[in-house]
């Protein structure tokens, strides 16, 4: 069984997208291929068909490989709850909460399980494409590493080292990383990749030659900068991105924003622009305001309250169009109760009072895949939340869930006000389906005197973009040499 590992000189250098591209390339070439990242730190997560939680980056990689996303592709997911604390998801389920030093001391206890899991993956697939995290040159973490060189040694994987030229200093970062590796670790690095290049490749070529002379490692490609509507990792997304379109969608940039990929499908609409609100100054007058998910609903609500953004949201809601998703939905309610100290030491916090619901945070996390229908049409997606919301006398459910993890059910979800301009739901990914997205946007188009439009299937656009990505990387990297490194004869 063949394997290749992409490590990087730092975070956000393009490891995830390179793994995605290689998964699609190997699939196109007729191999069964599986993505794998032993440990991911992200607030963007996904629920698998069997109700397990995993990082979104490995979901896109699974799609690129033609697979249904499975939790074993990302066995450890760390979801930060503060600068020094996180929730640990292991094999798709909540393992517990930990401080940074607590998890550092815990890491090696997962090693045997990771090794066993990887062996099972090797037996199922022709090729495994592995993604590292951060940088292998984090020498303070070396003795307990289970995601970079520690993992490469554990599964005996050759490594390609990627650097980001867009930020500048790519030669120094590649050479510096190699300098800080041990001799055995350096032997594992079989090639370098320069990512996000803009400009004339002829000007760069002398530098590639000099770098090869310095580190004694060949350059296997220079991938140009590109713009494709594919999911971003937490650290890579440009939250200040602002494009112009007839429909202005504003997303509140919460301090602990999670699952912001919920709005990705809106990018497939030519007349829609998406921007992120970070203060009162850039609130503006959007056509649609989205309050997204968060890992800390109460803390983020208090930040909105202290900054004055809550008052603006309330004023806007009198005439505007508001959709709250998961934590954003909970904020729109009357009260948030936390009797078990799940999020805060405060037992009760007032919400915005825009929907007649109350939320209580429970000890157990809800993780389900769902299909639902309502006045805004059919939706499908997934739920990840600790809070359970109950309805008041004036509340009206937004959806009826009829399928939960493949089982027939009949459950109410979300809420909608009497004027139907304030909507809330626990369902992530609700814009991915054509029905809901089309109805919401056409309601806005009609209100602005614009012509109604048919929405496109987001999955089809994603597949098209994955093929474009694969073609671009294939043209600019030495894929034949990568096959040779893996020991695959072509």
Beta strands 45-47 and 53-55 are: antiparallel
Give the CA distances from residue 315 to residues 307, 357, 363, 420, in Å, rounded to whole numbers and listed in that order. 15, 19, 34, 16
Give CA angle at 250 (249, 256), nearest 5°: 135
CB 24 within 8 A of CB 228: no
Residues 6+ apart with CB under 8 A from 360: 336, 337, 338, 339, 387, 388, 389, 390
CB 8 within 8 A of CB 134: yes
SS3 290: strand
Give residue for tokens 């301090």. Answer: 255
CB 343 within 8 A of CB 297: yes
Best CA proximity match to 43, nearest among 328, 253, 331, 257: 257
DSSP string, 398-459: SEEEEEETTEEEEEEE-EE-TTS-EEEES-BTTTTSHHHHHHHHHHHHHHTTPPP-PPPPHH
H or E element in which residue 63 lies: helix 56-64
Give CA angle at 398 (315, 305), nearest 5°: 30
Give CA angle at 280 (275, 286), nearest 5°: 40
Phi, then psi, of 239 in degrees rounded to 5: -70, -20
User: Directed axis angle between helix 297-307 and helix 309-316, to 10°?
Assistant: 90
Dist CA 116 CA 124 (whole Å): 13
Active site residues: 326, 428
Residues 6+ apart with CB under 8 A from 399: 372, 373, 374, 379, 412, 413, 414, 425, 427
Phi, then psi, of 91 in degrees rounded to 5: 50, 40
Give CA angle at 53 (50, 54), nearest 5°: 120
Dist CA 169 CA 181 (whole Å): 19
């Amino acid at each position: 069984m063949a394997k290749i590992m992409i490590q990087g000189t730092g975070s956000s250098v393009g490891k995830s997208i390179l793994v995605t591209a290689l998964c699609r390339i190997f699939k196109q070439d007729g191999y069964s291929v599986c993505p794998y990242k032993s440990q991911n730190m992200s607030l963007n997560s996904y629920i698998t068909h069997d109700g397990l939680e995993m990082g979104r980056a490995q979901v896109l990689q699974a799609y690129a490989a033609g697979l249904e996303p499975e939790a074993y592709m990302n066995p450890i997911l760390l979801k930060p709850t503060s600068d020094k604390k996180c929730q640990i998801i292991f094999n798709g389920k909540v393992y517990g909460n930990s401080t940074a030093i607590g998890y550092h001391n815990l890491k090696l206890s997962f090693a045997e399980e990771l090794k066993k899991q990887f062996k099972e993956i090797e037996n199922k697939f022709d090729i495994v494409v592995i993604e590292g995290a951060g940088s292998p040159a984090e020498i303070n973490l070396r003795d307990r590493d289970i995601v970079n060189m520690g993992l490469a040694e554990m599964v005996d994987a050759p490594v390609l080292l990627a650097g980001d030229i867009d930020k500048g200093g790519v030669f120094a970062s590649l050479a510096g990383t190699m300098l800080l590796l041990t001799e055995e670790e350096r032997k594992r690095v079989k090639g370098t990749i320069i990512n996000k290049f803009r400009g004339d490749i002829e000007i760069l070529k002398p530098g590639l030659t000099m770098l090869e002379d310095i580190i004694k490692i060949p350059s296997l490609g220079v991938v140009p900068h590109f713009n494709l509507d594919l999911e971003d990792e937490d650290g890579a997304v440009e939250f200040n991105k602002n494009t112009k379109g007839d429909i202005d969608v504003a997303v509140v940039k919460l301090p602990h924003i999670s699952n912001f990929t919920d709005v990705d499908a809106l990018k497939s609409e030519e007349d829609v622009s998406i921007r992120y609100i970070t203060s009162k100054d850039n609130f503006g007058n959007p056509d649609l305001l989205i309050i997204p998910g968060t890992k800390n609903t109460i803390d983020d609500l208090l930040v909105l309250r202290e900054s004055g953004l809550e008052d603006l949201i309330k004023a806007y809601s009198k005439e505007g169009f508001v959709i709250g998703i998961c934590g954003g939905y909970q904020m729109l309610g009357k009260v948030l109760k936390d009797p078990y100290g799940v999020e805060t030491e405060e037992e009760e916090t007032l919400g915005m009072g825009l929907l007649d619901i109350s939320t209580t945070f429970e000890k157990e996390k809800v993780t389900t895949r769902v299909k639902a229908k309502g006045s805004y049409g059919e939706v499908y997606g997934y739920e990840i939340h600790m809070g359970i919301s109950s309805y008041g006398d004036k509340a009206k459910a937004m959806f009826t869930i009829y399928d939960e993890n493949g089982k027939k059910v009949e459950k109410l979800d979300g809420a909608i006000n009497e004027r139907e301009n304030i909507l809330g739901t626990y369902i992530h990914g609700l814009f991915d389906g054509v029905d809901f997205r089309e109805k919401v946007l056409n309601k806005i188009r009609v209100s602005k005197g614009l012509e109604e439009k048919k929405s496109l299937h987001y999955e089809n656009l994603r597949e098209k973009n994955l093929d474009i990505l694969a073609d671009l990387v294939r043209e600019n990297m030495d894929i034949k040499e990568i096959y040779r490194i893996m020991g695959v004869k072509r």
